[in-house]
Structure 1
Amino acid sequence: MSENSVQFITITPEEEGQRLDNFLMKWGKGVPKSHIYRIIRSGEIRINKKRADVTSRIVAGDVLRIPPIRVASPESPAVLSAVSLQNAEKIVQNLPILYEDDALLIVNKPSGLAVHGGSGISLGLIEALRIAKPQLRFLELVHRLDRDTSGILMLAKKRSALTILHEDIRNGNMDKRYIFVAHGPFTEGLGHIALKYPLHKYLLANGERRVRVEDFGQESHTVIKFLGQAQDGKSFVGEAQLRTGRTHQIRVHLQHHGYPILGDDKYGVLEMDKLVKAKRLMLHAYKLVITHPLSKEKLNISAPAPKGFEIQNKI
């Protein structure tokens, strides 16, 4: 965040449905709650150029106008120091680029790197890119990956590209696939499994976001394919294809179906993870097929899975 200039933020599909005040409090860690409410009620916060109410629900594609805000936390990404610049350059230098042109930047995000700052994280991937590449006048996340999920992440370098890609996500016009390692044994044959559990987002007492299966939740659809037994002999490797893009969708769907992902500190089983010595969340976005938002060319992007996702006898 910058404390000296107005910012425009485009809401991603993963962020939609939140109340405006809740979104801003998470976005502006360190900003007093009273200040958040004051700037909303005074009309300084705008959604699509219109005044907004505290209880307004944000929708994917909405553009928020946020006035200059001074963040209280000394760890805020607003404070650009020499250390921040050095850290940003280090992140970007070690970030594999899978595809780039005037409209898109697609990278292979490592596990452990948050896509944006907040909640005690001074620099996320998006802030690091903006700092290290000041020549980019526009750079926004098209979608998100959880901090501990690795793999393909898309960013837009033009607002027109961002708008079209968000529309494609809403209409299901992207093929996004993940590879995972889950606790087994897998007992449902070798075919595909359609998981359609409705998902509901909620907050813990400390403000941390969680998701659970609820009858009144949002419609959600994940297709699971068994790929083979994992090399540890106690778990299995599978592919997950997203048909919808809800928060923590793959993790919660698999956990609810009886196959928690290895290394999942939110929805997994710690005792089982210790047995197989899981060192990270074993979820990796490895394949993406999209239509380029401007050229209309078909793009087939892949990011090889890191070590640990191998199938027994098929390395």
Structure 2
Amino acid sequence: MEQGKAIAVRRERVDEAAAGQRIDNYLLRICKGVPKSHVYRILRSGEVRVNGGRVAPTYRLAENDEIRIPPIRLAEKTTSGPAPAGEPLPVVFEDEALLVVDKPSGKAVHGGSGVSFGVIEQLRSQRPDARLLELAHRIDRETSGLLVIAKKRSALTALHDMMREGRVEKRYLTLVPGRWANPLQHIKEPLFKYLTAEGERRVRVSGDGKASHSIVRLVRRWSRFSLLEVELKTGRTHQIRVHLAHLGFPLCGDDKYGDFALNKSLEAEGLKRMFLHAARLSFAHPLTGEAITLTADLPAELQSFLVHLDTTEPRKHA
């Protein structure tokens, strides 16, 4: 392993893009290759100064703050290269503060967990002049549809507040096996997140879990399947997948909580992915307050499977 290199004292001036970010997250971002434990050590020891004084790791930066960063040893850059640019992602909405894309299924929103590059790395590679590109929320790798990226720190902070307070309306389309009966149904089962023995993240309904709320609307129904719209009032990990599986309606194509034998037969019929699509977002613009409603059509592979159902089995009216 090659030895890293030491650098001299750095002084950074906080610009608008970084304003509002926690000092620990800021340092982790700009000090590439420095172990997380070392970043927290220099913060706790007071070696990092903001405007000449010590700050806690939770301190939120203000525009024009001056940060003193002590000499630290940086790891040598790897030769893995930049994120591959890939095909441009479909842009649904963009202004000076926000970018909303229609994410394809199979693409992670960020690198990690065995994935080298995700949507955010791809966007940063394609837009090298962008001052800031940060995920405002996340959707599962297997899920397609609307994903919001902030281009300003102020917009990111406001969006996080709005989502935490339930002021962003998110609606998804999903296909489940069986005949869903109720035109409208609220699911309020608490969800508990845990790790399997293999270290994989999973979620289950549990009394000691976090409060969760999904609103399910019946859209269409066939003899063997139902197309549902699910509105998220909370944004728990795997919420739609676990809520519906708990009620006996696992998502078609779900490789974590689904009916694996059914999934195999659906592959032969043409459905080769999880049927879950982030179809609609409604919210007030985080900076202007303007009402925004965005939609993304079902991807061709999901739409074609619904056409297949129309031609192969009787349709039941809701």
Same fold (TM over 0.5): yes
Deviates more, 1:272-281 or 1:115-124: 272-281
**Correspondence 1:145-160 to 2 at 5 A:** 145-160=139-154
Structure 1 residues 203-255: Cα deviation after superposition (integer angstroms, max 9, x where no partner): 2233321111110111000001111125xx52211000000111111111111
**Correspondence 1:257-272 to 2 at 5 A:** 257-272=247-262
Structure 1 letter corresponding to 2:283: I
Q: Of 77, 92, 101, which aligns to 2:95?
A: 101
TM-score under structure 1 length normalisation: 0.75
**Correspondence 1:128-207 to 2 at 5 A:** 128-186=122-180, 188-189=181-182, 191-207=183-199
- 8 Å contact kept, 1:181–1:237: yes
Pair 279,71 (structure 1): closer, same or farther in 2 beyond 3 Å:
farther
**Correspondence 1:173-252 to 2 at 5 A:** 173-186=167-180, 188-189=181-182, 191-230=183-222, 233-252=223-242
Larger Rg: 2
- 8 Å contact kept, 1:10–1:140: no
2:288 equivalent in structure 1: 295
- 8 Å contact kept, 1:255–1:267: yes
Q: Of 119, 126, 146, which aligns to 2:120?
A: 126
Q: What is the DSSP-based 3-state SS (H/G/I as helix, E as strand, rest coil) of the residue aligned with 2:174? A: strand
CA distance in 1 between counterparts of 2:195 and 2:235 reads 19
Deviates more, 1:196-205 or 1:284-293: 196-205
Structure 1 letter corresponding to 2:200: E
**Correspondence 1:84-99 to 2 at 5 A:** 84=82, 87-88=84-85, 90-91=86-87, 93=88, 95-99=89-93
CA distance in 2 between counterparts of 1:44 and 1:142 reads 29
TM-score under structure 2 length normalisation: 0.74
Deviation of 1:174 after TM superposition, in Å, equals 1.2
1:16 equivalent in structure 2: none
Q: How many residues align?
A: 270
Q: What is the DSSP-based 3-state SS (H/G/I as helix, E as strand, rest coil) of the residue aligned with 2:302? A: coil
Alignment root-mean-square deviation, CA: 3.6
Deviation of 1:262 after TM superposition, in Å, equals 0.8
- 8 Å contact kept, 1:195–1:223: yes
Deviation of 1:276 after TM superposition, in Å, equals 2.4
Identity, in percent, stands at: 41
- 8 Å contact kept, 2:266–2:272: no
4+ runs of 1 displaced by more than 2 Å?
3-11, 35-46, 48-52, 65-72, 204-208, 275-278, 307-314
Deviation of 1:38 after TM superposition, in Å, equals 4.5
Structure 2 letter corresponding to 1:227: V
CA distance in 2 between counterparts of 1:267 and 1:276 reads 15
Pair 256,71 (structure 1): closer, same or farther in 2 beyond 3 Å:
farther
CA distance in 1 between counterparts of 2:105 and 2:44 reads 37
Unpaired runs of 5+ residues, structure 2, are: 62-66
Pair 69,260 (structure 1): closer, same or farther in 2 beyond 3 Å:
farther
Unpaired runs of 5+ residues, structure 1, are: 12-19, 53-57
Structure 1 residues 150-169: Cα deviation after superposition (integer angstroms, max 9, x where no partner): 00000000011111111111
Structure 1 letter corresponding to 2:43: G
CA distance in 2 between counterparts of 1:51 and 1:111 reads 40
Is 1:273 equivalent to 2:263 in the alignment? yes
Deviation of 1:122 after TM superposition, in Å, equals 1.2
